[in-house]
Amino acid sequence: MYRVQTEFRDRHPLRLRRSVLTVPAVNERALAKICDLDCDAVIFDLEDSVAPEKKSEARENLKNFLEQADLDWRERIIRINAVDSVHLADDLQLIRALIPDAVLLPKVEEPASIQSVADWLAEADATESLRIWAMIETPRGVLNATTIASSGRTANGRLDTFVLGLNDLRKATGIPAEPGRRYLVPYLMQVVLAARAYGLDVIDSVSNDFRDMDAFAAECAQARSMGFDGKMLIHPSQIGPANDRFGPEPNAVAEAQHVVAQFADPRHAGLNVINVNGRMIERLHAEEAERLLGMVALIEARKESQK
């Protein structure tokens, strides 16, 4: 038997974030469907998808929904309005009332934005488990991704996840929305690297045409290869493909089980590098394997809870 880990040295506790569905809080019909969906997390949006005159209605809708709905395993994230917005105070009061799993800050460009919300959460005596997610969606946000990520160490340790926002980044840079995202890849990798340097998860941007599943699958495959943990989604049809693409592949699971078993063998006690069938395997590979098997365990536990 291999040992399942959900805590890792350089990362926050392991969470499934393969499929992160965003839902406008003003859309009551969309809110009502969430409990029947197999997404790992839900971003309840109070920002871009809600018109200024609808902000109060969206907050009331969300309050009513979350006070009654049982979201079970689904991580609950509320995207608030910008830290300099006139809507921020009301958004934060809603956070205090609902205590979601995380608050998502839009258009983060500097560590001060993270720190200001972290300070407010501390003053509001918010539970330590309430995390901060940050949208990186502007040129300044990309350029400052490393300093923003490092702020997670000082902002009461609340910073947990980066989410890429490519629509705003495309608008600001003039890069067209073309297949393959080739001119955006350097920016994507820069944010992934910053996130990993400071133990954060990182979620890829939305794919705007939810009818083009081939393009969506290609973006998921690209994002997985670049090291993203999952993808932000705009439609329920994208959930299954995202779960499949960002989930453990059978061959990788078998390999992980083999690696963990080899390092658990008493013959290899105290070794950091071992020879397995002519292949040199380091202990760091065992740590990666344990994280993968931890993901498998979380998925299996979810399946059991749904029976």
Q: Are 228 and 163 in contact (CB under 8 A)?
A: no
pLDDT value of position 286: 83
List Cβ<8 Å contacts ≥24 apart for 55-58: 55/81, 55/87, 55/90, 56/90, 57/26, 58/24, 58/25, 58/26
Look up residue 249 and give its amino acid: E
Does 140 share its domain with 288? Answer: no
Residue 43, class by beta-carbon neighbours within 10 Å (0-12 exposed, 13-18 middle, 19+ buried)? Answer: buried
Does 33 share its domain with 105? Answer: yes
Tokens found for residue 147: 């300093």
Residues at the binding site for Mg(2+) are 137, 168
Does 29 share its domain with 51? Answer: yes
Instruction: Name the DSSP class of 206.
Output: P
Note whether residue 76 is domain-resident: yes
Q: Strand, coil or helix: what is 166?
A: helix
pLDDT value of position 6: 42
Radius of gyration for the alpha carbons in the chain, expressed in angstroms and rounded: 20
Q: HSE (CB half, 13 Å, CA atoms) of 146?
A: 6
Q: Strand, coil or helix: what is 158?
A: coil
Residues at the binding site are 79, 137, 168
Does 171 share its domain with 117? Answer: yes
Instruction: Name the DSSP class of 178.
Output: -
Going residue by residue through the chain (307 aa), what tens digit of pLDDT does each one get? 334 444 434 556 789 999 999 999 999 999 999 999 999 999 999 999 999 999 999 999 999 999 999 999 899 999 999 999 999 999 999 999 999 999 999 999 999 999 999 999 988 877 888 999 999 999 999 999 999 999 876 667 899 999 999 999 999 999 999 999 999 999 999 999 999 999 999 999 999 988 899 999 999 999 999 999 999 999 999 999 999 999 999 898 988 888 888 888 888 777 888 887 778 888 888 888 888 999 999 999 888 877 7
Nearest-angstrom CA–CA distance, 119 and 107: 19
Does 297 share its domain with 181? Answer: no
Note whether residue 6 is domain-resident: no
pLDDT value of position 155: 62
Note whether residue 5 is domain-resident: no
Does 74 share its domain with 171? Answer: yes
Residues at the binding site for substrate are 79, 137
CA 38 from centre of chain = 15
pLDDT value of position 3: 41
Note whether residue 204 is domain-resident: yes
pLDDT value of position 11: 53
Note whether residue 11 is domain-resident: no
pLDDT value of position 8: 38
Number of domains in the chain: 2
pLDDT value of position 283: 83
Note whether residue 144 is domain-resident: yes
Q: Domain boundary residue among 217, 246, 275?
A: 246
pLDDT value of position 12: 63
Tokens found for residue 128: 């330590």
Q: Domain boundary residue among 197, 225, 246?
A: 246
Nearest-angstrom CA–CA distance, 67 and 56: 17
Note whether residue 2 is domain-resident: no
Does 155 share its domain with 23? Answer: yes
Q: Which residues contact 80 (CB under 8 A, 6 or more apart)?
A: 46, 47, 87, 88, 91, 92, 95, 103, 104, 105, 106
Tokens found for residue 233: 């989604």
Nearest-angstrom CA–CA distance, 23 and 72: 17
Q: Domain boundary residue among 221, 246, 271?
A: 246
Does 111 share its domain with 223? Answer: yes
| Range(s) of the domain holding residue 133 | 19-246
Nearest-angstrom CA–CA distance, 150 and 195: 9
pLDDT value of position 2: 36
Does 128 share its domain with 143? Answer: yes
Does 167 share its domain with 55? Answer: yes
Does 256 share its domain with 236? Answer: no
Q: Are 119 and 92 in contact (CB under 8 A)?
A: no
Residues 169-188 as b/e (b if ≥16 CB within 10 A, e otherwise) read bbeeeeeeeeeebeebeebb
Does 192 share its domain with 87? Answer: yes
Note whether residue 282 is domain-resident: yes
Q: Which residue has the tokens 């000082």?
A: 154
CATH of residue 46's domain is 3.20.20.60
Bridge partners, 105 (sequence order): 134
